[in-house]
Chains A and B, each alone.
Chain A
Amino acid sequence: MKKRDARKDYILMAPMALWAIVFVGLSMVYIIAVSFLKSNNAMGFTYQVTGENYAKLLNPTYLRILLSSLSQALCATVCCLAVGYPFGYLMARTKKKTRSVLMILLMAPFWTNALIRIYGWRILLMADGPINLVLTKLGWIQEPLKMLYQEGTVIFGLVYALIPFMILPSYTAAEKLDRSLIDASRDLGARPWQSFITIILPLTTSGILAGCLLVFIPAIGLFFINDLLGGGKLINVGNLIKDVQKTRDLPLMAALGVVLLAVVGLLLYVYQKLGGKSSDLNVF
């Protein structure tokens, strides 16, 4: 066999690497750099190194928004896990044909805009919307429930938008699970919950970890759910950063972005420490 020229492989990789260096590497370095420069409050900065942007973030207003965004994302992640993990597990145990139908049904909403689906919830949850109408007709409630513009509704919307990212890795992990291990444990006298804790849970941890990461990371920045279901009253970090075009304080928002990057970096570190593989994060 002829030895191939390794240089050719590098030439093939070069456009991609170059693109990544410019648009991923440089842009990240750029906002990190901007976050340490003094703001001119006109979308720009003066070349003066300062830590005041980070100091400003310690202001209770920003701190509260940051913490509430993180807790919102955390709540959404926990709910996704509670609903999505059983779905993924049960789906892996259905017949092969059912499984492929479920997979299509699960993926199809992906191909439609998340905005549209959240907008659908907005119609449903309105004070004179279909849900209140049905509940009143059934006589279960007298007054229409005020469902929109509540924090819980925003979390509900996050769960709705992100749950496929929990279901898919859970399903992948559960599908690889060897059924005979569970049968063996049951034969040896384990109760269902015992085989769940000692067999199923440890063997599907990879899916749980990947799912949590894939839900939590986007949940921090999904500002349009706050807008559509929270009515703009509730603000998260995403709303704050998006409004940079109005507030025009680019370095401050860059600092906020860097803080979020640090949070994501920390999560990835923990993920890897817990034995998570980066290949588990590719759900498509």
Chain B
Amino acid sequence: MRKKRLKKSVSPVYLSLVLVFLYLPVLVVVVFSFNDNPARNPTVFTGFTLEWYRDLFKNTRGYWDALAVSLELAFWSCALSVIIGTIGAVGMARRMTEGRANFAARAAEMMTTLPILIPEIILGLAFMSMFYFAGIPMGMTALVLSHTTFCVPYVFIIVKGRMAGLDPALSEAARDLGANERRVFTDIILPLIRPAIISGAVLAVAMSLDDFIISVFLSGAYTVTLPLKIYSSVRTGVSPQINALCSVMLAIAFLIVGISKLAGRKRNADKA
């Protein structure tokens, strides 16, 4: 009896232990953002303060400029990759339903999704050297081109997955009732794949904001993205302003995840 109860508690204990492992450093970053220790490398918590947040909002160290660069970059990469990836996925899915995904279509799909499997460090090196050769200056353009390249596969895969789950009878019915291709797309397909497009877009933004390795190769002198800025500040020591900044970013991230989950739940409830 006792043994059985012990066995039953193994699973929740293990799951929680791993979650503690996942969240411990996040928690530390947040706690130390309120640390009132003025030492150069404060690792001991001495008291509560909001000083670092005040410091952060004064923008003495250019964190907001870096955030602006990152947001601009994320916006363009997201917009481009959503357009390219969605249109591509729709075309691909239609080829598939006709059952004749030929060599060219499959090759295009493989090439598009390849960046998922190539280590980022190699992508970064390859983009840098090729852009250098092509005369594209390092900076926003180079960053947008590269980020779009690694975001397209995710948008493509998500939208294509949704397209594969659509009932082809819906489009056929619309066509039989006289709708032309454009109306079938705007009135039938687009509303049905909208959730997938939104998840693809959110993922693209997250990937772009998070990217550090590829951006290292492509940022110019005036286009320092937020991860690059964070990296140069924490590389050697502890910086309480960075802790404050990270806590703000964490709060925003959790808010976005929470809202999208709630929206998802509402969507499911509507369907039921």
- What is the interface of chain A, defined by CB distance below 8 A to chain B? 1-2, 4, 6, 8-13, 15-17, 19-21, 23-28, 30-31, 34, 43, 83, 86-87, 90-91, 93-94, 102, 104-124, 126, 128-130, 133, 160, 163, 217-218, 220-224, 227-228, 237-238, 241-242, 244-245, 250, 253-254, 257, 260-261, 264, 268, 278, 281-282, 284
Contact = CB atoms under 8 A, between A and B. Distances in A.
A154 to B, nearest CB: 15
Interface stretch (B47-55, B58-66, B71-79, B206-214): B206-214
A250 B213 contact: no
Interface in B124-163: 124-130, 132-133, 145-146, 148-149, 152, 154, 156-158
Contact of A16 (B104, B108, B249): B108
A31 B129 contact: yes
A120 B26 contact: yes
A115 B227 contact: yes
Given A83-B18, A104-B261, A19 B84 contact: yes
A16 B85 contact: yes
Given A113-B227, A114-B210, A221 B250 contact: no
Contacts of A1: 172, 175-176
Nearest to B231: A115
Given A31-B129, A90-B15, A261 B122 contact: yes
A160 B125 CA distance: 25
B253 A108 contact: yes
A120 B234 CA distance: 10
B111 interface: yes
Given A16-B152, A111-B254, A129-B43, 11 more contacts: A15-B84, A16-B91, A31-B122, A90-B14, A123-B29, A124-B25, A163-B22, A241-B124, A242-B216, A260-B122, A284-B158
Interface of B: 11, 14-15, 18-19, 21-29, 32, 41, 43-45, 83-85, 87-88, 90-92, 94-95, 98, 104-105, 108, 111-130, 132-133, 145-146, 148-149, 152, 154, 156-158, 172, 175-176, 181, 203, 206, 209-210, 212-213, 216-217, 226-227, 230-231, 234-235, 238, 242, 246, 249-250, 253-254, 256-257, 261
Query: What is the predominant secondary structure among interface residues of chain A facing chain B?
Result: helix
A52 to B, nearest CB: 18
Contacts of B124: 241-242
Given A113-B249, A114-B210, A241-B125, A13 B92 contact: yes
Nearest to B10: A90
Give the one of A25, A106, A130 with max B CB within 10 A: A130
B44 A133 contact: yes
Nearest to B89: A16
Nearest to B237: A122
B112 to A, nearest CB: 4
Contact of A282 (B43, B157, B206, B217): B157
Contacts of B21: 160
